[in-house]
């Protein structure tokens, strides 16, 4: 996917994350269910990311905050919820960052 995708509500510079000097790609994904959080800052919540018919789909997972290691471990990616946004609905587009730096093959 091009690094010039248009994603409403997100800074396009956030399409890559740097962790320990390693650049990890982000993909534009369509949410398969609602994704919400209580804070006002940008959040990254666990999802199951898959490629279907040429588009990335992200299924939100049950997650109870940063101490929920089991909930987080069930995901293969994290999806961004922009600052100031408390909820994204099914069908909304957002950026998803595959965990481990590998993009799932579908």
pLDDT tens for each residue of 45-95: 999 999 999 999 999 998 888 888 888 889 999 999 988 898 999 999 999
Q: Which domain holds residue 33?
A: 12-101
Distances in whole angstroms, Cα of residue 92 to Cα of each of 21, 41, 68, 70: 30, 19, 25, 26
Is 56 within a domain? yes
Is 41 within a domain? yes
> How far is 19 from 87, CA to CA, in rounded Å?
26
Number of domains the chain contains: 1
CATH number at residue 94: 2.40.340.10
To the question of pTM greater than 0.75 for the whole model, the response is: no
Is 33 within a domain? yes
């Amino acid at each position: 996917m091009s690094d010039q995708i248009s994603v409403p509500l997100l800074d396009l510079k956030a399409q890559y994350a740097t962790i320990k000097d390693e650049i990890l790609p982000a993909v534009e994904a369509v949410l398969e269910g609602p994704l919400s959080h209580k804070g006002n800052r940008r959040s990254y919540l666990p999802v199951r990311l898959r490629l279907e018919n040429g588009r990335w789909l992200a299924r939100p997972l049950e997650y109870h905050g940063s101490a929920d290691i089991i909930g987080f471990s069930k995901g293969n990616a994290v999806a961004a919820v922009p600052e100031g946004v408390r909820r994204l609905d099914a069908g909304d587009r957002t950026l998803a960052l595959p965990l481990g730096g590998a993009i799932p093959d579908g």
